[in-house]
Structure 1
C-alpha cells in the first residue's frame, strides 16, 4: 500500500499541473478546434494515468474522476461549454476542483431561488452520511460471515448496497473537500435511488447525478439535435437515450479494465444497452398512455429496483467478481484497518512512555 500511495500522490500532482495548464489555455487560446488541439494531450494523459494504480478504491476513484468526468468536462471546455466555462473569472483552484471532482457548483441564481422539495431531499446532513457510513462499516465487518454462510443471491444484494454506500460516501467526501476549498454550495450526487419509481427516475434524477449532468451536454443533446433533423422531434428521444447509454457503457468498460486489467467481455455494455432500450420503451409507453394509467408508488418502486438488481446480478456483477473485486476491496479495508491500528498503538505507547517519564520527573521534585 505504501507504493500505491506514492503512485497515487504522483498521479494527482500530475493531474493538478495538467489542469492548471488547461486553465491557462482557456485564457490564451480561443474556443473551438484550436483549444481542443491544445487540450487533447491532457485528455490522452488522463486516459493513461489510472494505469499507474492497481487498488480498487484509489485506482477506481482516480479512473472515474480523471478518465471520465475530467475528460468530458475538458472536451466541453474546449468549445466554451459545461461547468468549466460557467464562470469566466473563476480562480485556478476552483477550476481544478470543478474539473477533477464529481461536483457541480450551483449558480448564484440557483442559490437564490427557493428550493423545491426534491432539492431539499437531495441536500443531506452530516447525520445522514454518518448513518450510511456506519452501515457500510457493519457490512465490511460482517463480510467474512455472510460470504461463507449466506446464499449467493443474498450476498450480491449486500454487494449492491455496498457499492451504492461506498460511491455515495466517496462522492460526498469529494464534494466536502471542494466545499472547504471553494466555499460554495454544491449539488448532491445521489437522491435515494432505492426510492426510484421508474427507470427514468432512477437514471435521470436519482443515481449519480454528476454523470447524468455530464452526459447530457456531451452526448444526449447533440444526438437529440441530430436525430430531430432526421426523424423528427417525436422519435428523436429514442436514439438520444440509446446513444447516451452506449457511451456510458463504453466508459464503464474502460473503468472495469483499469480495475481488472482483463480483456472486456462486454457484459457491462449489454447491461447499459439493455437499460437504455428499456428506458426508451418506458418513455414511449408513458407518452402513449398520457397519464391515463399509473402503478401505485410502492409497486413501481419494487419493480424498478428489482429490475436494476436482477439485471445487475446477471450482467454487472460477473465482471467484477471475475477479477475478484470483492476480495481485493476487503483486503484494502483490512490493510487500512491494520495501518490505523498500528498508528493508534504507536501513539498510545508513546503517550504512556511520556506520562511515565513525567510521573518519574515530578516524583523526583
Structure 2
C-alpha cells in the first residue's frame, strides 16, 4: 500500500511538470513574472489550507468549515485591530474563535458522533451566517495599518521568494514535524488507520479527534491572515465560493487517502502545485467560472474514484463518524 501511494505521488508530480511546461510554452502570459507571483500567492494559501485538511483527513475525517474558519476569525482580527484594541488582543481573539470553531467541530464529530461531512458543513454555514448577519460593517474588510507589524506574512520577499511561500514552507515544516515526530501526530495516524484498534490500545480517540479539528481551524486562521496581508483586505464573501473543493482536491490528488491513516505534507505540496497550475491556466484562458467548476468537479470525481480504488474501506475499520 505504501508503494501504491508513492507511485500516485510520482504520477501527480510528473503530471504537474507536464502541464506547467505546456502552459509555459503554449499559453501567452502564463510564464510572466506577474502571473507567476499571482500563482505563487494563490498556491501558498491553498497549500496552507491543504495542510489543515490533511491533518483531519489522515485522522479519517473531513472539514468543510475551513473557508469560513479562514474568513471570519481573520476578519475579526482586522476589525478589532482597526478599532485600536491592540494587535496582541486582536490576534488572541482571532485565535480563541478559531479554537472554539475547532472544539465545536470536534464535539459534534467525536462525542455526538455526527458524520464529519454533515457536522462541519453545518458549522461552516453557521459561522458564515454569523459573519453575514451584521457582525461586520462591510463585506470587504480592509487591512488596517495597525496590523502592519504582521503584514510581512503576505507581502515582500527574501532573495526573490515571497513571504507567503515562506509562510507555507514554515507551516509545512511544523505540520510535518507534528505528524511524524510527535506522539499526538502518530496517534492521529493510528486513529485514521483503525479507530477501534487505537481505542483498544489505550489511545484517547475522542480528544485526539477534537485536537485535529482545532489544528485545522487554527491553520485556517493563519491562511486567512496570509491571504488578507497579500491582498490588503479580507472579502468575507469568500465562503460563498467553491474554494473548499480545491482544498479537498489538493489532499486527494496528492495521495492522502480518505480512508485515513496515510499520507503527509509531501502529498499536500504535490497536490497544491497541480491544482494551482490548472486553475491559473484556466483563468488565463478566460475559461468561464461555470466551466472551471465543471472541470474541478470532474477532476474531484476522478480523484475520489481513484482514492476509492487505491484505499478501499472495509467493515473492520469502518465507524459511524466516517466521511
TM-score (norm 1): 0.29
**Which structure is higher in RCO with an 8 Å CA cutoff and minimum separation 6?**
2
TM-score (norm 2): 0.32
Which protein is bigger by CA-based radius of gyration? 1
- Decide which structure has greater helix share: 1
